[in-house]
Amino acid sequence: MSVEYKSVQWNRQKLIYDAILLTTVGLYLWAFIAITNNISTDVGSQFDKHGVHMRAYGSAAFLLLHVILSIGPLSRISPKFLPLLFNRR
């Protein structure tokens, strides 16, 4: 712990990392919802819209948790993952 609070210092690398992360999560959510809606119309039953969104957000959170927790061991195995370790916060 430091004596004074210091906010996140933004640089170009962090902005690119965040843009890629937000784009990936957005595409995942869009694909999950689109595929679920296509499956439900093919079967003939309609899923609840709010339930589909909750499942999409829950599965995205689960996948992001696993990705974030795997960055540490992966950076020890290969130095290619060290930039991800730097941006993990």
Question: pTM surpassing 0.85?
Answer: no
Q: Which residue has the tokens 């927790």?
A: 69
* Percent of the chain's residues with pLDDT above 90: 38
Return the closest-CA partner of residue 82 out of 2, 17, 7: 17
Judged by phi (left if over 0) then psi (alpha if -120 to 50, else beta), residue 44 lies in left
Position 25 scores a pLDDT of 97
